[in-house]
Structure 1
């Protein structure tokens, strides 16, 4: 999930896999696969960056997970949760590189 902000400054999380397209004219509008539309204050580039970071985070977690633990239901690592989990994984001040878990 990525966190986005409505024009009234309320935040909500949205599944980026359900975004069909993004318009920026002039406000950024997320058009979902079911036809729902959300106008947000983030720019088109910011939304694309959030989606890329979210997907990179999912891939990095998958590479750290042992398949045997997944099948047995045991947790082998703490998975960061919450609306800002991806941002919390970054090195302080860098905004670029995730910390190692």
Structure 2
């Protein structure tokens, strides 16, 4: 889960596993897998960093490289 801020200043927690796309229009827009769009105050890079940190915390980041290494042996 990541914490982001909407434009009225309220923070909310978002399950990063449901993020399909992050774009800047110039406002940062997060598109979820269900098609819903959220506009947040954080920059696109900040959201990407939060998502990457979350993936590391739950053990998802890096597993693809490890699996690829096993296949090459």
Q: TM over 0.5, yes or no?
A: yes
Please identify the structure whose Cα radius of gyration is greater: 1
Of Structure 1 and Structure 2, the greater strand share is in 2
Q: Secondary structure at the match of 2:20?
A: strand
What is the root-mean-square deviation of aligned Cα atoms in Å? Answer: 0.7
Match status 1:26 vs 2:9: no
Deviation at 1:40, TM superposition (A): 0.1
- Count matched residues: 59
Q: CA deviation at 1:23?
A: 1.2
Query: Where does structure 1 lack aligned partners over 5 or more consecutive residues?
Result: 60-101
Match of 2:46 in 1: 46
TM-score between both structures, scaled by the size of structure 1: 0.56
Give 1:25 deviation, angstroms: 1.1
Larger helix percent: 2
